[in-house]
Structure 1
Amino acid sequence: MNRRYFLYGSTGAAIVAGLPLLARQHIASPAMAKDKEQFEVAKTEAEWREILTPERYKVLREEATERAFTSPLNGEKRAGTFHCAGCDLPLYSSQTKFESGTGWPSFWEALPDAVGTRKDRSLFMVRTECHCRRCGGHLGHIFDDGPPPTGKRHCINGLALTFKPSGAA
């Protein structure tokens, strides 16, 4: 009986001791992968901080997620194009935007050659992270629960985007 408690306790202690290392590996993975990639638009941390608001910096450069239902772009219904807030690359057409009910702007498809992806192993799960292919800015994640014709849902932080109505310069 004492040996059983000792074994259970030892196993539990080993698991608990290893969690910080496991968590650090999962949390750091996307950012470490991004650091190794080369992007067309490259700036220093100080340059990004100078051109982005603190909220946009957290999303685009530190991969934060804005609170659901806080972005005015979630309700944007005009014809136009959604651009990267970091480098102004056109990313999504309003024609592919749909109401997902999640609280974030959602699209079933990106514009051609606009978005890059990588595996995101943070939060102890595997998701598909998407980023601007030109500056590497974090946009959000892509899920397999979207509408036809793609079945994809690009769940995008509104802070990562700017909107330009059709006909605007």
Structure 2
Amino acid sequence: MKQFAIAAAVLAMTGLAAHAEKVKVTETVKLAAPPAQVWEKIGHFSDLSWHPAVKSTEASDGDKADSQRRLDLGGPILWEAIVSNKPASHSYSYRILDNGSNQKVLPVTGYVSTITVKPDGQGSEVVWSSTFSPAPGTEGEAARKAIAGVYRGGLDALAKAFAKN
């Protein structure tokens, strides 16, 4: 472990840490609601209010190409930009802007994520996935856990919102 820490420090000093391993995270949840109903709740890049960690969200140009959203996490602010929006396929992709401030909130760089709602029997499956590199000074597993925790928080909230009473 000590050798890994020394190697990570050397990589960070040489600027090579930005090219660290690519990490992939995928989390899913199955819901007892049709995809169109789930998409209506979560399918707008401009509105991440369904996630319990988000206190407020606003976007520069709604769900259109090049729109950026500002997420207020109750103190920390996170900036993201839409990459693609495919409402007919119930999917959109976005990236975290590598602006230095964002890495203080989530320890990642080169982050690109996709949220997709797929049919699953009589209900839906939401798939939230991403690829990224750990920010300099962050181990891959720590970055993976941070992102997986964000996804689980949102998906667990969806499970409660769409639970059959």
Classify the TM-score, shorter chain.
under 0.3
Larger Rg: 1
Q: Quick check: which one's helix share is greater?
A: 1
Q: Quick check: which one's strand share is greater?
A: 2
TM-score, structure 1 as length reference: 0.24
Q: Could you say which structure has the greater relative contact order, defined with CA pairs below 8 angstroms and 6 or more residues apart? A: 2
TM-score, structure 2 as length reference: 0.24
